[in-house]
Amino acid sequence: MAHPPLPTLLAFATLLSACVVQTGRPACGPRRLDVANLAARPVEQLYYGAPGAWGEDLLLGVELAQGAARPVVVPGVPGLTLRIVWADGRAIELSGLDPCRNARVVIAESSIRAD
């Protein structure tokens, strides 16, 4: 089995330590997060990251319909923000999510709850 090159491992370790410093809690590796949409409109985009640096849409361009649920994989970095964008362009955010402890997110009409 081939091992990643040392520079790759060092870069990953640096990123991981930066995450611990930023949030004050250790990372736990990629996590499955079940997302349920109980709102009356479809969710068009879902992001997990730092505000202003959202990265890739976790729904991969496939809307989450009203009443639907599905899993997504998020980085296991506690303390970042989950951003939901509905099909009508409105957005809502949940700050301080901990995917190391929370396994489910429920989207309601005007709120997001992590279980």
Residue 11 belongs to some domain of the structure: no
Residue 58 belongs to some domain of the structure: yes
Residue 17 belongs to some domain of the structure: no
Residue numbers of the domain that contains 56: 28-114
9: left (phi over 0), alpha (psi -120 to 50) or beta: alpha
CA distance 82 to 54: 9
Residue 33 belongs to some domain of the structure: yes
3-state secondary structure of 11: helix
pTM of the predicted model, to two decimals? 0.76
81-108 residues labelled b (16+ CB within 10 A) or e (exposed): bbbbbbeeeeebebeebbbeebeebbbe
Each of the 115 residues of the chain gets a pLDDT tens digit; together they read 444 444 443 344 444 444 444 556 678 999 999 999 999 999 999 999 999 999 999 999 999 999 999 999 999 999 999 999 999 999 999 999 999 999 999 999 989 999 9
CA 7 to chain centre: 27
Count CB atoms within 10 A of the CB of residue 47. Answer: 22
Residue 75 belongs to some domain of the structure: yes
What CATH number does residue 99 fall under? 2.60.40.4150
C-alpha closest to that of 71 among 37, 98, 95: 37
Number of domains in the chain: 1
